[in-house]
Amino acid sequence: MPKDFNDDPHLDVCQNIEVGLREQYDRLPGLIDTQCMFALDSAKVAIKQQFGYARNERVNVLPGTEGIIDWCVAIGQARIGDASNLTLKEDVACLEKIKRSVKRHSEAGPRGYYAFIRHYV
């Protein structure tokens, strides 16, 4: 049986990430889902670099996406290895899960993900 989104042991980490994304969407009316997905990819590289990996990869930052990257890295730094036993691999998986959700909801328009999450976080 496929794993349900709500069965994720790190659902709280995903929700923490979404809170920061919503804040960025609220603050930046021009922020679109494509930029958000790009920032999530950059955040995956940035958090790996914080733990000594991905040294040869570049963290690409589009104007207006700095807050997303910084937020995601801060969550990873705070949560990896804490009482929740989150690993770097699991944190990156959470970022990827959110990115897939952004992509899925962006089919409803350039800010489709924001229209979806603003009611939940």
Question: pLDDT category, 1, cuts 50, 70, 90?
Answer: very low
The share of the chain scoring above pLDDT 90, in percent, equals 84
Q: Identify the pLDDT of residue 6.
A: 58
Q: Identify the pLDDT of residue 10.
A: 84
Show me where the domains of the chain are located.
11-117
35: closest CA among 18, 21, 45? 21
Q: Residue 33: exposed, middle, or buried by beta-carbon count in 10 A (0-12, 13-18, 19+)?
A: buried
Question: Mean pLDDT for the chain?
Answer: 92
Q: Identify the pLDDT of residue 2.
A: 43
Per-residue pLDDT reduced to its tens digit, 36-75: 999 999 999 999 999 999 999 999 999 999 999 999 999 9
Q: Which residues of 77-94 are buried (b: 16+ CB within 10 A; e: fewer)?
A: eebbeeeeebebebbbbb
Measure the CA–CA gap between 69 and 76, rounded to whole angstroms. Answer: 11
Question: pLDDT category, 4, cuts 50, 70, 90?
Answer: low
Residue 11 has pLDDT above 70, yes or no: yes
**Higher model confidence: residue 118 or residue 84?**
118
